Amino acid sequence: GENVEQHPSTLSVQEGDSAVIKCTYSDSASNYFPWYKQELGKRPQLIIDIRSNVGEKKDQRIAVTLNKTAKHFSLHITETQPEDSAVYFCAASIDWGLSFGAGTTVTVRA
């Protein structure tokens, strides 16, 4: 089945700096890549997604890039703020749904 690897597992950044999370996937048939943000004790929420016919997508301070040849995709958060502190999960589509990465705990230091 699909195996999604996510790095790093933890990330600490200074407020205002950028944060980058990287994921790789194994199934060449995957063509949909969402990112979820989970605050402590809350449900995972979709923050941005990208499909295989697009190489990059941006939404305000958040951007995702996709390299289908290399089978990796990344989340970029610019001008980080304290409310960006959370666990972020990447995912890749598989035939029956989504395969999730293990998550990255992002801490934004004031």
Partner 1 sequence: DSGVTQTPKHLITATGQRVTLRCSPRSGDLSVYWYQQSLDQGLQFLIQYYNGEERAKGNILERFSAQQFPDLHSELNLSSLELGDSALYFCASSSRAENSPLHFGNGTRLTVT
- The residues in 27-46 that bind partner 1, with binding defined as CB under 8 A, are 31-32, 34, 36, 41-46
User: For partner 1, which residue of 88, 93, 106, 108 counts as binding (CB under 8 A)?
Assistant: 93
- Residue (51 or 109) nearer to partner 1, CB: 51
Q: How many separate helices (H) and strands (E) can be counted in the chain?
A: 0, 11
Shortest distance, CB of residue 35 to partner 1, whole angstroms?
10
Contact at 8 Å (CB) between 19 and 11?
yes
Contact at 8 Å (CB) between 83 and 61?
no
Q: Is 67 helix (H, G, I), strand (E, B) or coil?
A: strand
- Enumerate binding residues for partner 1 (CB under 8 A): 31-32, 34, 36, 41-46, 49, 51, 89, 93, 96-98, 100-103
